Amino acid sequence: RVLRPGGRLSFSAWAPPTRTEGFRIALESIAEVGNPNVEGLPDGPNFFDFGDSNQATNALKEIGFVDTRSVELSEMKWTSIKNGSELYDVLLQGTSRTREILLGQTEEDSAAIASLMIQKYDAITDSGKRSLAMPALITSGCKPTSV
């Protein structure tokens, strides 16, 4: 697709795992009892880079966009996930890179990751009494009307 001059481009990205509890639970669990560097998974960019407003707006400015801005959805929560097992399934079925990391584990490591995710979920959410904090950032910029 081509963006017309003066048109606005917008995209969203998750905040870093220090603030997105669902990703923090998963990535910490993988690092603690699994293998975060699964064989065959190509290197990729950090998918949380654009969850930082400075990085996101600077990236747009670097490619010529103007009137860049970011808005954080800091109160966003995952309200439908009721336990750590559901969180594991959501990340396995609804993500790309995290899915491949989970699928690349041995059976033993997969079981250990799932078990630790349940424990971490319960600790963070008081056994499901509150929702997971999952803030995201929406960033946009305008294509200049003239070059």
Q: Give the predicted TM-score (pTM) of the model.
A: 0.88
Q: How far apart are CA 7 and CA 84, in angstroms?
A: 42
Per-residue confidence in pLDDT tens, the chain, 147 aa = 689 999 999 999 999 999 999 999 999 999 999 999 998 888 888 889 999 999 999 999 999 999 999 999 999 999 999 999 999 999 999 998 999 999 999 999 999 999 999 999 999 999 999 999 999 999 999 999 986
Q: How far apart are CA 50 and CA 139, in angstroms?
A: 8
pLDDT of res. 99 = 93
Q: Which amino acid is at 67?
A: D
Q: Are residues 66 and 142 in contact, defined by beta-carbon separation less than 8 angstroms?
A: yes
Measured CA to CA in angstroms, residue 41 lies from 28, 102, 112, 117 at distances of 19, 11, 21, 22
pLDDT of res. 1 = 66
